[in-house]
Structure 1
Amino acid sequence: MVTNLATQLKEGTAKSHSLVENIKFIKMFISGVLTKTSYRKLLANLYFIYSSLENEIDKHNSNPLIGPINFQTLHRKKSLEKDLKYYYGENWKSLIKPSKATLIYTQRIEKISAHKPELLIAHAYTRYLGDLSGGQLLKKITKKSLQLQEEGAGLDFYNFKNIENLQEFKKIYKDALNSLQLDRDCTNSIIAEANTAFKLNMSIFQEFSVSTSQLIIMLIKNLALSFLGRENS
């Protein structure tokens, strides 16, 4: 039996994780080059992904390989609904639709749920640990880039209000992964599926394009804001 799934997932997806970080949209995001239009479009796509993932995971909650890692406090659907209402307005549901890459992503989730539900572990790991880790950095960047003043408004996706200590909870989640009774073949399949999840995410990020003119404008804007911040401090 494999007892260190969390470590094996981290090591087995290291290359994929690096590839995602080097996608143009992500590099621009991390640099603070982010528009409200692109961000709300990203949230819309994430809404469809998390809706699908959480629906399928809940279906298999009695599965001994799924139940232990199905923490309701991690679910993001309701948080995304709040953000979409903030960015699109009350009628947000009628204004959003999944992109081509997002449809492929959700179809993959539904397919494995029907035939190999244990592979949902890979998608939960990829999404939720990312939200608890790098997602917290993206939260700060988003708040600054979009000049969000009110605490929490437009940032609910990154807020885990029912988790007091994110670092401690990450350990709890990893311990839950390590507690699963998996053989070598199943473990390898989950790691392979986690890499597939990274590729599916990459396809979504690659749909976002930042033109040279947009990049220059945003960089100038960010530099100006930084200068004003220093002047007023």
Structure 2
Amino acid sequence: MEFKSSRRDDTKITDSDLSEQIKAATKDSHVRAENTELMLSYQKGQITLPQYKLLLCSLYEVYRALEDELDRSASHPSVAPIYFPQELARVEALETDLEHFFGPHWRKRITVPAATQRYAQRLREIGKQNPRLLVAHAYTRYLGDLSGGQVLGRITQKSLSLSSNEGLSFFSFPGVPSPNRFKQLYRSRMNSIDLTAEERKELLDEAVRAFEANIEMFDDLQKILSLTASTDVLKEDETTVVSQKTLYHPVFQFTVGVCVALATVGMGMYAF
């Protein structure tokens, strides 16, 4: 499949391009998120099946909100250039993964951490009030998944000893045969969006807000960890068996869900 752009200078990137400006505006947040202990742990393969299942729950809630709003605003002049549902949409893949792990009635069994709900609420809010700001979230989420997600897929498969790709649909982009070429196209389309100085500033501020939201999730997690430090629930020993009662305890679900979601979001963001 060959991707074509409406711009002639697809590969020409300058400091005035929106994609480069987002990188510059979020540089400090990048560094702060990149050095979280949780993200580093994920890269080492320290993830369990309960954690991964809760991660999928969080990702599903975020992507459901993001893609609902992108679909609703597909004809908006700022959204249309970066609207690639066939190539990028993640909701269907996440539903496949959730059904694999939770069974046919997965919708009644999934748990969504409070921090994830707040992020999804923000996406729905701007989708209704100012769809232009969805560009910042789509760029951060999708391009991160196209890059860091590939690494995460391999780490997850190895860490969980999965013998096949079942349960890993989220990391697969069958509509994007060449991630690097597609990312160039995506940046080019995004850089072609016509913005006033004020609109550009608002979009850059929203990109920073997206990063800060993830850092806030980490802060919330740290508070919960301090409350559960005296228990055995969060031991790092991979052989530790967590009972069903503990696994579905609200505090444990919130803690682990935010932990893994933050790590994943962080890894993806750094692979632009």
Deviation at 1:122, TM superposition (A): 0.8
Counterpart residue number, 1:162: 175
Contact 2:19 2:190 in 1 (8 A): yes
The reply to whether residue 55 of structure 1 matches residue 76 of structure 2 is no
Residue by residue over 1:168-219, the C-alpha shift from the partner in whole angstroms, topping out at 9 and shown as x without a partner, is 111111011111011222112111111111122334455496978732447x
Higher helix share: 1
Q: Among 36, 58, 65, which residue is 1:23 paired with?
A: 36
The reply to whether residue 177 of structure 1 matches residue 204 of structure 2 is no
Segments of structure 2 that go 5 or more residues without pairing to the other structure are: 1-14, 240-272
Query: In structure 2, how many angstroms separate the alpha carbons of the residues matched to 1:81 and 1:153?
Result: 12
Residue by residue over 1:91-115, the C-alpha shift from the partner in whole angstroms, topping out at 9 and shown as x without a partner, is 1111013211011101111111122
User: CA RMSD of the aligned region, Å?
Assistant: 2.2
Residues 64-213 of structure 1 aligned to structure 2 (within 5 Å): 64-72=77-85, 73-150=87-164, 152-204=165-217, 207=221
Contact 1:3 1:179 in 2 (8 A): no
Amino acid at match of 2:35: N
Contact 1:105 1:200 in 2 (8 A): yes
| SS of equivalent to 1:191 | helix
Query: In structure 2, how many angstroms separate the alpha carbons of the residues matched to 1:22 and 1:40?
Result: 24
Residue by residue over 1:58-92, the C-alpha shift from the partner in whole angstroms, topping out at 9 and shown as x without a partner, is 11111110011111111100011111112212211
Q: 1:128 to 1:114 in 2, by over 3 A?
A: same
| SS of equivalent to 1:139 | helix
| SS of equivalent to 1:174 | helix
Q: 1:89 to 1:25 in 2, by over 3 A?
A: farther
Contact 1:3 1:180 in 2 (8 A): no
Q: 1:25 to 1:89 in 2, by over 3 A?
A: farther
| SS of equivalent to 1:93 | helix
Contact 1:74 1:128 in 2 (8 A): yes
Query: In structure 1, how many angstroms separate the alpha carbons of the residues matched to 2:46 and 2:177?
Result: 30
Query: In structure 2, how many angstroms separate the alpha carbons of the residues matched to 1:4 and 1:81?
Result: 35
Query: In structure 1, how many angstroms separate the alpha carbons of the residues matched to 2:61 and 2:238?
Result: 31
Segments of structure 1 that go 5 or more residues without pairing to the other structure are: 219-233
Counterpart residue number, 2:20: 7
TM-score for both structures, normalised by structure 2 = 0.74
Amino acid at match of 2:110: I
Counterpart residue number, 1:214: 235
Contact 2:48 2:238 in 1 (8 A): no
Contact 2:137 2:210 in 1 (8 A): yes
| SS of equivalent to 2:117 | helix
Moved more, 88-97 or 124-133: 88-97
Counterpart residue number, 2:49: 36
